[in-house]
């Protein structure tokens, strides 16, 4: 079953740059998909459209049966409850503990404290940080901070997790630790779309790999690596 159906999507910015040309893409529920390509190929525009930070000039983006392009602005929050987003730079609140950073994502929905506690401890355990719930971000390594960011993104049980260069600031070993966490989350049923430039990760994990080039899908491999023809030079 397709979770995401993108049809005929085009996006041109006010400066005249066209980021996406007539893009068509299907992503099944439970997939783990890498999106790769050189800078300016349209990766960021694509993922921003999935959580409605950007809107296309034309085309449709259907997630879970709903065309998010047609969502009213005051209904976008409902979409974002179903989508977790992890960024390269963590975006943790420095004055809050690990527990509080993750709980914050639930408190804005007004959930009772006992339910919040149960969900937060569960995801911290999943990412291997249950024993650091009372630590502050400055007391954590970069990899640990990214795991907190992942826990925050999945604590509400999203259908879709979007990762924008989540290992971009991490060393090779720490990057693979993060990928192990993401694979566990994927095994639990969450669909993951990950933008990355990390050749090692793409080559090792051999997931579905979509190569964007100048706003178009150049290649779509079921089990892609950078070593494939057409990917190796990006």
| Least confident interval from 30-34, 107-111, 125-129, 179-183 | 107-111
Longest Cα pair distance anywhere in the chain, in angstroms?
53
Rounded-to-integer distance, Cα 69 and Cα 51, Å: 10
> Is the per-residue pLDDT at 45 higher than 70?
yes
CA-wise closest residue to 163 among 123, 196, 128: 196
> Is the residue at 26 inside a domain?
no
> Is the residue at 25 inside a domain?
no
> Is the residue at 10 inside a domain?
no
Whole-structure pTM value: 0.92
pLDDT digits (tens, 9 = 90+) for 163-173: 999 999 899 99
Q: How many other CB atoms sit within 10 Å of the CB of residue 125?
A: 13
Q: Print the domain residue range for 114.
A: 31-58+70-221
Q: Taking each helix axis as running N to C, give the angle between helix 172-187 and helix 113-126, from 0 to 180 degrees, rounded to the nearest 10.
A: 120
Helix (H, G, I), strand (E, B) or coil at 130: helix
Helix (H, G, I), strand (E, B) or coil at 24: strand
> Is the residue at 234 inside a domain?
no
Going by their DSSP bridges, the two strands 208-213 and 2-12 should be labelled as: unpaired
Q: What average pLDDT score do residues 36-58 get? A: 94
Rounded-to-integer distance, Cα 64 and Cα 190, Å: 13
> Is the residue at 232 inside a domain?
no
Rounded-to-integer distance, Cα 34 and Cα 194, Å: 5
> Is the per-residue pLDDT at 26 higher than 80?
yes
Rounded-to-integer distance, Cα 155 and Cα 137, Å: 18
CATH number of the domain within which 85 lies: 3.40.50.300
Of residues 77 and 149, the one with the higher pLDDT is 149
The number of folded domains in the chain is 1
| Least confident interval from 19-23, 125-129, 213-217, 226-230 | 226-230
> Is the residue at 15 inside a domain?
no
pLDDT band at 232 (very low <50, low <70, confident <90, very high): very low
> Is the residue at 17 inside a domain?
no
Q: Within the chain, where are the H helices?
A: 43-50, 76-80, 98-107, 113-126, 142-154, 172-187, 199-205
> Is the residue at 229 inside a domain?
no
> Is the per-residue pLDDT at 226 higher than 80?
no
Instruction: Name the phi and psi angles at 143, rounded to 5.
Output: -65, -40
Of residues 184 and 77, the one with the higher pLDDT is 184
């Amino acid at each position: 079953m397709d979770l995401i159906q993108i049809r005929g999507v085009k996006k041109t910015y006010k400066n005249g740059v066209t980021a996406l040309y007539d893009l068509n893409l299907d992503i099944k529920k439970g997939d783990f998909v890498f999106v790769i390509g050189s800078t300016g190929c349209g990766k960021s525009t694509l993922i921003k459209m999935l959580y409605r930070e950007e809107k296309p000039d034309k085309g449709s983006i259907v997630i879970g049966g709903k065309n998010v392009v047609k969502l009213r602005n005051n209904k976008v929050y409902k979409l974002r409850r179903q989508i977790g987003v992890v960024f390269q730079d963590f975006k943790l609140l420095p004055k809050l503990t690990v527990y509080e950073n993750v709980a914050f994502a639930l408190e804005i929905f007004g959930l009772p404290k006992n339910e919040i506690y149960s969900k937060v401890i569960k995801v911290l355990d999943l990412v291997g940080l249950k024993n650091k719930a009372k630590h502050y971000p400055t007391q954590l390594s970069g990899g640990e901070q990214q795991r907190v960011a992942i826990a925050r993104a999945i604590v509400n049980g999203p259908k879709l997790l979007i990762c924008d260069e989540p290992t971009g600031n991490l060393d090779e070993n720490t990057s693979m630790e993060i990928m192990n966490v993401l694979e566990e989350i994927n095994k639990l049923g969450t669909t993951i779309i990950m933008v990355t430039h990390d050749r090692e990760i793409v080559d090792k994990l051999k997931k579905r790999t979509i190569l964007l080039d100048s706003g178009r899908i150049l290649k779509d491999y079921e089990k892609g690596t950078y070593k494939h023809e057409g990917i190796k030079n990006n």
